[in-house]
Amino acid sequence: MPKTTPPDADNSAQQRRLQMADIARLAGVSTSTVSRALAGSKLVSEETRVRIMELARSLKYTINIGAQNLRMKQNRTVGVVIPYDSATRQHLSDPFFLSMLGSLADALTELGFDMLVSRVDAEELDAAAAPFDTGRVIGIILIGQWRHHEQLNQLAARHVPIVVWGAQLPQQLYCTVGGDNVTGGELAAAHLIAQGRKHIAFFGDINLPEVGQRYEGQCRALRKAGMKVDPALQVSVSFLPEGGREAVQELLRRGVPFDAVFAGSDLMAMTSINTLRQHGYEVPGQVAVVGYDDIELAGYFHPPLTTVQQPIREAGRALVSQLLELVDGRPAASLQIPTQLIVRNSSV
């Protein structure tokens, strides 16, 4: 090959990103001065600082964060990891998780942090730490604990700063932030009992810590009311949208009488209602239904859905603040955020 690519004039000229040295040259000062000026240091005179800042703004110059991070050994990016179930391919689809993502985005933006989102196979949660291991983020917020308690413990043992949205469990080394699922479940069931319902079914996979606690809450409410817990009324189904349909069908197959359903998520409640209707049941007339999460659509559903509201806004903030504690090397206690029953028409 006689010639290689043109030496300079090429596309580098048209596109090369400005760097501090360029600003320095154009301003007739050294890079040190530019650096200090842009950082607002008192070591430069007011006059030159203003001059440099204006020049930078007019040229749309911004400091290269990567280089800055390298030099300062700091970083203002937080990793948000959403595990997905490789078996069911349950992706970023449940509206609740997506709302949580939004809430985190708000909380992080407010504090000037960036949000690096990634999805990992729930079976290989080790990979969740990758953005941390490679130095891209200062810590990880994981949405959805599922049943991977052990793997999460391992991450925490490795000193990966990580905060998990989910339930508190015994022997837990990592920090969780979650709603008060037991109370939430109790509120929901107590409400149904107060409405005179006698046979309250529970839909949801009670092996998942959060769902299990909600069921525990229901059982507590039943006991308090002097009613007995009937295992035949508990149907374990996945979190997938079809879950509701499957649960209703399974319940009908069992032939157990029921007059109320407490579903582990709003999505499940909605599909349950639809399926119940297809089978000729009236909601709430014959079967009262209560969901969980209070996703945005809950109020717009037909009938408007009674549900336990998850404190999304506070959750986002709490997750972030606990993570920052960990990042700073302080211990971060797990938090439980109060939940609230929102009564709408699906249960009264």
Partner DNA sequence: TGCTCAATTAAATGGCAGATCAAAACGACA
Partner DNA sequence: TGTCGTTTTGATCTGCCATTTAATTGAGCA
Q: Mask of contacts with DNA, 283-322, x by CB under 7 A?
A: ----------------------------------------
Q: Which residue, 205 or 266, has its beta carbon nearer to its own copies?
A: 266
The answer to whether residue 112 forms part of the interface with DNA (CB under 7 A) is no
The answer to whether residue 73 forms part of the interface with DNA (CB under 7 A) is yes
The answer to whether residue 148 forms part of the interface with DNA (CB under 7 A) is no
Residues 309-348 binding its own copies (CB under 8 A) are: 329
Residues 61-90 binding its own copies (CB under 8 A) are: 62-67, 69-70, 75, 77, 80, 82
Pick the binder of DNA from 36, 148, 214, 317 (CB under 7 A): 36
The answer to whether residue 50 forms part of the interface with DNA (CB under 7 A) is no
Residue among 305, 291, 337 nearest 181 (CA): 337
* Residue 131 partner contact from its own copies, DNA, none using kind-dependent CB cut-offs of 5 to 8 Å: its own copies
* Residue 31 partner contact from its own copies, DNA, none using kind-dependent CB cut-offs of 5 to 8 Å: DNA
Tokens representing residue 161 in the block? 């700063």
Q: Which residue, 65 or 173, has its beta carbon nearer to its own copies?
A: 65
**Residue 9 CB burial class (10 angstroms; 0-12, 13-18, ≥19):** exposed
CB neighbours of residue 231 within 10 Å: 7
For the CB of residue 6, give the shortest distance to DNA in the complex, in Å.
Answer: 16
Question: Cis before residue 303, ω within 30 degrees of 0?
Answer: yes
Residue-by-residue DSSP string for 159-192? T--EEEES---TT--SEEEEE-HHHHHHHHHHHH
The answer to whether residue 5 forms part of the interface with its own copies (CB under 8 A) is no
Residues 279-298 binding its own copies (CB under 8 A) are: 296-297
Write down the residue that tokens 């859905």 correspond to. 305
Q: Which residues lie below 8 Å from residue 254, measured CB to CB, with a gap of 6+? A: 232
Q: Which residue, 133 or 282, has its beta carbon nearer to DNA?
A: 133
**Which bin fits 311, alpha (ψ -120 to 50), beta or left (φ > 0)?**
beta
Distance CA 150, CA 133 (A): 19
Residue 137 contacts residue 116 (beta carbons within 8 Å): yes
Write down the residue that tokens 């690096």 correspond to. 116
**Residue 329 CB burial class (10 angstroms; 0-12, 13-18, ≥19):** exposed
- Binding residues for its own copies, rule: CB under 8 A, are 11, 14-15, 17, 60, 62-67, 69-70, 75, 77, 80, 82, 91-93, 95, 98-99, 101-102, 105-106, 109, 114-119, 130-131, 133-136, 158-159, 241, 244, 267, 270-271, 273-274, 277, 296-297, 300-302, 304, 329
- Binding residues for DNA, rule: CB under 7 A, are 17, 19-21, 28-36, 38-39, 42-48, 63-64, 67-68, 70-73
